[in-house]
Amino acid sequence: MSNPSSRKRIVITGLGAVTPLGIGKKVYWDALVSGTSGIGPITRFDPTGFDVRIAAEVKGFEPGDFMDSREARRMDRFAQFGVAAARLAIEDATLTIDEHNAERVGVMVGSGVGGLQSLEDQMRILIEKGPSRVSPFLIPMMIADMATGQISILTGAKGPGSTVVTACATGANAIGDSMEILRRGDADVMIAGGTEAAVTMTSVAGFGNMKAMTSKFNECPQKASRPFEASRSGFVIGEGAGVLILETLENAEKRRAPHIYAELVGYGMSSDAYHITQPAPDGTGVVRAIHHALRDAGVAPEEVGYINAHGTSTPMNDKAETGALKAAFGKHAHVLAVSSTKSMTGHLLGAAGAIEAIAAVLAISEETLPPTINYDTPDPDCDLDYVPNTARKARVEVVVSNNSGFGGHNAVIVMRRFH
């Protein structure tokens, strides 16, 4: 690992969000700060007979606002979200992609699940009408790399293009991997993040039967996601996308980028090597990823002021993550602020790390820490400062965004106030 002081500096110049709390960074941020829940009854399909009948859906999304209607019909919803978030981020950064820089602009927008809705729809047609009626666009609509592909095609970005699939760590891995591409000089700009649209019958049935999602709050969905709280009983599935524009500082200064939200300074990842769905109870995998990220950033644990936690609202995850934070930060774990914005957005799976990175960046630039809502009864096993229920004004210099995924993946990114 190279010396942090000798590497290219990587900055964040644009933010694009498509979330259950609204579309666009400002709407999203304002809802987070006000403690608004984006969870409600499922409308994407008829959930009658399902144990779980709630989700955090994106409302009012019109693909035609971001792409040609013909193009939209050839994309799964997850790719539409990714394109929309990328368009918003590019606009926010006032980034122009043309023949002068196209080969130096890359895309890495991951998805944990990919085009599950398209697969379900075409399987139904296959069974009911036969193989000749299956859409020839099924495969390019379904495969998880197609958000990256469509963004590249529609923006003209011809630099490095790739897709990360690490379940719920996907968004954070995509951002961290994009930073490494920029550091080694393979691009000047990366369009990075995650997207997901898995509020489908198969997904909800599968997660529900796994007992990973809560089924106790169908009648009061806005209370369902309650990370670190004593009565938490499972996560709430969500959908949406988050995209960040990452640039070398040299490139941002050269093109006179209108704003730099923060500097991306560290990235760490690890594997639990423990279980296909459960986190390692001792949290050692998360601890290793945090240590890697802080060392990569050249940051001491005591410099971190805020952590946007994975905080899924499942009994095992929140307990293990709390233990990992205490092991990684020592006494400082009881000083720094920790919150889970999943209490408001639900769990966006492959997009979670991306929209949460946006929240962490804005916590720096807006000098406000988003809360963990629905925090009513403390859990003795979760004994940190979770910014309960109400946003908090605070000036923090360094923030951490922590994510983990099925398969034992852990990904941590570190951001610092830009000086």
Catalytic residue among 292, 310, 382, 409: 310
Q: Could you confirm whether 310 is annotated as catalytic?
A: yes
Q: Could you confirm whether 419 is annotated as catalytic?
A: no
Structure tokens at 227: 């990370």
Of 206, 215, 244, 186, the C-alpha closest to 313 is 215
Sign of CA dihedral 216, 218, 223, 224: positive
Catalytic residue among 168, 292, 382, 409: 168
Strand intervals (E) in 81-123 = 105-110
Which three-class secondary structure state does DSSP give residue 409? Answer: strand
- Tokens 């769990």 sit on residue: 347
> What is the DSSP code string of 301-329?
GGGEEEEE----S-HHHHHHHHHHHHHHH
Of 256, 248, 249, the C-alpha closest to 95 is 256
Q: Could you confirm whether 347 is annotated as catalytic?
A: yes
Alpha-carbon gap, residue 398 to 172, rounded angstroms = 16
Contact 196, 240 (CB under 8 A): yes
Structure tokens at 282: 């001792």
Alpha-carbon gap, residue 210 to 64, rounded angstroms = 36
3-state secondary structure 120-171: HHHHHHHHHHCHHHCCCCHHHHHCCCHHHHHHHHHHCCCCCEECCCCHHHHH
Contact 360, 353 (CB under 8 A): no
Catalytic residue among 292, 347, 382, 409: 347
List, by residue number, the catalytic residues.
Answer: 168, 310, 347
